[in-house]
Amino acid sequence: MKDCVFCKIVSREIPAEIEKETDTLCIFKDKFPKASIHLLIVPKKHYTDISESDGEVWSQIRETAVELAREKNLKGFRLVINAGSAAAVKHMHVHFLGNVEVAREV
């Protein structure tokens, strides 16, 4: 999509701090991080949201998230997916958050 910010990052029209790349995914730092490690796992193919994606994309995202956690020596991580009106950018993406703490009630 010509006006999609993530498509422009994937095609290198817009700069981003790219952490990793595969044939089908681009992983880069979130511009407005919510954790000390906050990456976006973005399919290179434009999907508006999860309703358009297939099982292969999900498998690749899972494998990449596990690999990122291993590379960064994380004991745990969080994946966040927004879809439809909840997504600020209308290009399917998964937020990978590392070094997050679980909020516990006392």
Query: What single-letter amino acid sits at 8?
Result: K
Is 95 labeled as catalytic in the residue annotation?
no
Token match 């993530």: residue?
6
The pair of three-digit structure tokens given for residue 56, joined into one six-digit string: 């292969």
Q: Alpha-carbon distance 72 to 52, whole Å?
A: 30
**Active-site residue (options: 38, 91, 93, 95):** 93
List, by residue number, the catalytic residues: 93
